[in-house]
Structure 1
Amino acid sequence: MHVVLAGGGTAGHIEPMLALADALTRRTAPGGGPAVQVTCLGTARGLETRLVPARGYDLRLIPPVPLPRRPTPDLLRVPARVWRAVAETRALLTGLGADVLVGFGGYVALPAYLAARRAGVPVVVHEGNPLPGLANRVGARLAARVAVSTPGTPLHAGEHVGMPLRPSISHLDRAGLRAEARAAFGLDADRPTLLVFGGSQGAASLNRAAVAAADALTAAGVQVLHARGPRNTDVTVPPRPAGAAPYVVVDYLERMDLAYAAADLALCRSGAVTVAELSAVGLPGAFVPLPIGNGEQRLNALPVVEAGGGLLVDDAELTPAWVTENLVPLLTDPAALAALAANAAAAGTPDADERLADMVLEVVSR
């Protein structure tokens, strides 16, 4: 069986695509060995050129078809670009002997959906965001099945499956790994721990608020693991006095599983993958949605917050005083933290990768 996956550009499309690829290749044929062969589609301009080969999957490149956000002369070139991309993708699907195409949105997905339709290849769509993009709105009308990460996503025939995650996260035993994780970051074994991160590049407003609240946090016995972002080397915290709670600043977190295991609470943005990972591992979050865009990050966090698994604060309201007044009392209340963690876990879908794999294989079997 040959499954073709289309999802490039950003990590929000690529990570769930690769999680599904892993779930599919774990399936074995009756005689042993993998039952599914996976090929990924991408463009030369996206992160997939690095991330997909690093995970061991075949990557085929097709022309990107970016859609202008407003009427410009470039809009006139879109039909020709779509035609070219569809023709090349259809030839790829035919040459690969594709049994099904699974799309995750973005520049790669739209021509892939149209090409699959012309080639007679069934389509499955996965939408990771609560506000679907154009590619998946079109794809959903052509698809045999449509999966969504967030309940209530306004997408035709959408079925709630969740966000596919890598097994190192979805199968994480936070309690069992806690001592090792805290030791790895130079943290104390038994102190309440706040994790601060703003994505791979960091977030200036989170950095400012957390650093300015460092004295209040550590004076209350709360230790901090803070990923400032590789370009934010000016974000520093003076060494804590002997015997005080540590405040550890790193540029980047290579092992998010260890960071999640070390933490009792996260102060972070609310990208779709971040929210899905925190809820899957049962780590409550104080979510600070990105203040630009279409409000999508706020919608990502709302289901977990409404389930009692986290807090939500606007970027403009995130101040050192807010951290001190809201997070310090929470982090020093074990019962309240435990309740938040249980509610966060109840809102998560750690088996989304397997559920989506089942959906894809069912479409092929039909």
Structure 2
Amino acid sequence: MRIVLSGGGTGGHIYPALAIGKQVMEEEPGSSILYIGSPKGLESRIVPAQGISFEAVEITGFKRKLSYDNVRTVMRFLKGVSRSKQLLRDFRPDVVVGTGGYVCGPVLYAAAKLGIPTLIHEQNAVAGLTNQFLSRYADSVAVSFEEALPQFRKSRSAVYTGNPCATNVVRADKDQGFAHLGIPSGSRIVLLVGGSRGAKAINDVMVDMAPLIGRLPDVHFVFVTGESYYEQTTSRIREILPQQMPATQQMPATLQVLPYLHHMPEVLAASSLVVGRSGASSLAEITALGIPSILIPSPNVTNNHQEANARTLADAGAAEMIAERDLNGALLFERITRIMNQSDIQSQMGTAALSLGMPNSAAMIVSELRRIIAM
């Protein structure tokens, strides 16, 4: 299979595309992959590091109000379509996949105009503007949340596949997660993470909650701050911790504060409870593993889609949701304590999460690609 992947701007668009590419290579080892992204997006660094061919197309998004910038955006879009057509003619793909972000616009539009089979993947419960626009041209739309299907009624085909990031994480070895953290296998872990770049609101609540963790002495807490917040957050935690700690001990034995987790799938697999944002890829991973969660949706995203994502899990009993405006250390620790001290609640939430998980998502999407190629 010759496949073009396109998705950019955030990891939430990039990693699902890479998961689809990985599944294609596993099922058809002789396949060829080209990734088309933005020269300034994260994909320009992440994709080449994976050994995948990368080409760039210049594009920006539309402003939500009348602006001269939108005229420039139209011109960039048209140039992007022309550039994309040339790249597609040169590569000659069997299929083109878009996973969201502005760069998908010219790439998928060009593919449709050239008669190349196309599929778009929508990660969130509330569809993004680019995918809504592209759905009228795509041969198939795959969605992560079943609730998103009605938003694509006018598309040629819409299928519920889940998020392909789920497929990667179910293969993770949780014993390696314990080993990476340097703690005994079987330890109970509460993982707090604000995303790959961190989130100030979640880091602030880590600081507020740090003096309380001694009340759960058999639970190991892992705080992942994001690299840009790490020094400030660790300094604040050290200042606020009880003064009776030994001078030589900078952090409680049951607390690790880390800037980044390079083995996130393994640590996730080892975790008993996850506290964090409700990006689509993260939710796909925790449901595939059946992990209870406390979700704090980011209020700073388009269409408030993280709250819609979180409500899907909360309504199913798989998660608890706390609005960022209500968040504080005492409230969060109370929720964590209730879940960790009541095995029946933890079990029920885990079972509900697992019922939402779709660990075969990547394979389902590749099967759909074969279907539209054969049309």
Name whichever of 232-241 and 9-18 sits farther off.
Answer: 232-241
Distance across 2 between alignment mates of 1:211 and 1:223: 16
1:201 to 197, 202, 210: 197
> Contact 1:188–1:246 (CA<8 Å) still a contact in 2?
no
Shift of 1:173: 5.0
2:225 to 212, 223, 228: 228
Shift of 1:264: 0.7
Is 1:325 the equivalent of 2:361?
A: no
Q: For residue 218 of structure 1, what is the amino acid of its counterpart?
A: G
For the structure 1 residues 61 and 308, does the alpha-carbon distance in structure 2 shift closer, same or farther, using more than 3 Å as the test?
same
Shift of 1:353: 0.7
Is 1:212 the equivalent of 2:208?
A: yes
Corresponding residue number in structure 2 for 1:120: 115
Identity percentage of aligned residues: 29
Find runs of 4+ consecutive structure 1 residues off by over 4 angstroms.
188-191, 238-242
> Contact 1:102–1:124 (CA<8 Å) still a contact in 2?
yes
> Contact 2:166–2:284 (CA<8 Å) still a contact in 1?
no
Any gaps of 5 or more consecutive residues in structure 2? none
Any gaps of 5 or more consecutive residues in structure 1? none
Q: For residue 224 of structure 2, what is the amino acid of its counterpart?
A: A
Q: For residue 306 of structure 2, what is the amino acid of its counterpart?
A: Q
Q: For residue 335 of structure 1, what is the amino acid of its counterpart?
A: D
Task: Give the SS at the match of 1:22.
Answer: helix
For the structure 1 residues 324 and 77, does the alpha-carbon distance in structure 2 shift closer, same or farther, using more than 3 Å as the test?
closer
> Contact 1:65–1:85 (CA<8 Å) still a contact in 2?
no
> Contact 1:3–1:37 (CA<8 Å) still a contact in 2?
yes
Corresponding residue number in structure 1 for 2:271: 263
Corresponding residue number in structure 1 for 2:139: 144
Distance across 2 between alignment mates of 1:15 and 1:279: 17
> Contact 2:194–2:226 (CA<8 Å) still a contact in 1?
yes
Is 1:353 the equivalent of 2:350?
A: no
Distance across 2 between alignment mates of 1:77 and 1:235: 41
Corresponding residue number in structure 2 for 1:341: 350
Task: Give the SS at the match of 1:89.
Answer: helix
Corresponding residue number in structure 1 for 2:129: 134
Corresponding residue number in structure 2 for 1:49: 44
TM-score (norm 1): 0.91
Corresponding residue number in structure 2 for 1:279: 287
Shift of 1:325: 2.1
Within a 5 Å distance, the mapping from 1:162-181 to structure 2 comes to: 162-165=162-165, 167-174=167-174, 177=175, 180-181=176-177
Distance across 1 between alignment mates of 2:209 and 2:131: 42
2:310 to 276, 296, 301: 301
Q: Deviations over 1:202-232 (max 9, x none)?
A: 2222222233223332222232011122122
For the structure 1 residues 246 and 66, does the alpha-carbon distance in structure 2 shift closer, same or farther, using more than 3 Å as the test?
same
Is 1:18 the equivalent of 2:18?
A: yes
Shift of 1:252: 0.9
Distance across 1 between alignment mates of 2:14 and 2:83: 21
Q: For residue 289 of structure 1, what is the amino acid of its counterpart?
A: P
Is 1:79 the equivalent of 2:74?
A: yes
Task: Give the SS at the match of 1:53.
Answer: helix
Q: Deviations over 1:91-127 (max 9, x none)?
A: 2111211222111121211111221122111211111
For the structure 1 residues 70 and 255, does the alpha-carbon distance in structure 2 shift closer, same or farther, using more than 3 Å as the test?
same
Q: Deviations over 1:222-267 (max 9, x none)?
A: 320111221221223448679x761111111111023213321011
Q: For residue 214 of structure 1, what is the amino acid of its counterpart?
A: A
Name whichever of 271-280 and 60-69 sits farther off.
Answer: 60-69
For the structure 1 residues 250 and 7, does the alpha-carbon distance in structure 2 shift closer, same or farther, using more than 3 Å as the test?
same
For the structure 1 residues 89 and 173, does the alpha-carbon distance in structure 2 shift closer, same or farther, using more than 3 Å as the test?
same
Corresponding residue number in structure 2 for 1:60: 55
Q: For residue 213 of structure 1, what is the amino acid of its counterpart?
A: M
For the structure 1 residues 73 and 332, does the alpha-carbon distance in structure 2 shift closer, same or farther, using more than 3 Å as the test?
same
Q: For residue 255 of structure 1, what is the amino acid of its counterpart?
A: H
Distance across 2 between alignment mates of 1:76 and 1:343: 48
Shift of 1:165: 1.2
Distance across 2 between alignment mates of 1:78 and 1:211: 42
Q: For residue 203 of structure 1, what is the amino acid of its counterpart?
A: A
For the structure 1 residues 246 and 357, does the alpha-carbon distance in structure 2 shift closer, same or farther, using more than 3 Å as the test?
same
TM-score (norm 2): 0.89
Shift of 1:68: 2.1
Task: Give the SS at the match of 1:231.
Answer: helix
Task: Give the SS at the match of 1:136.
Answer: helix
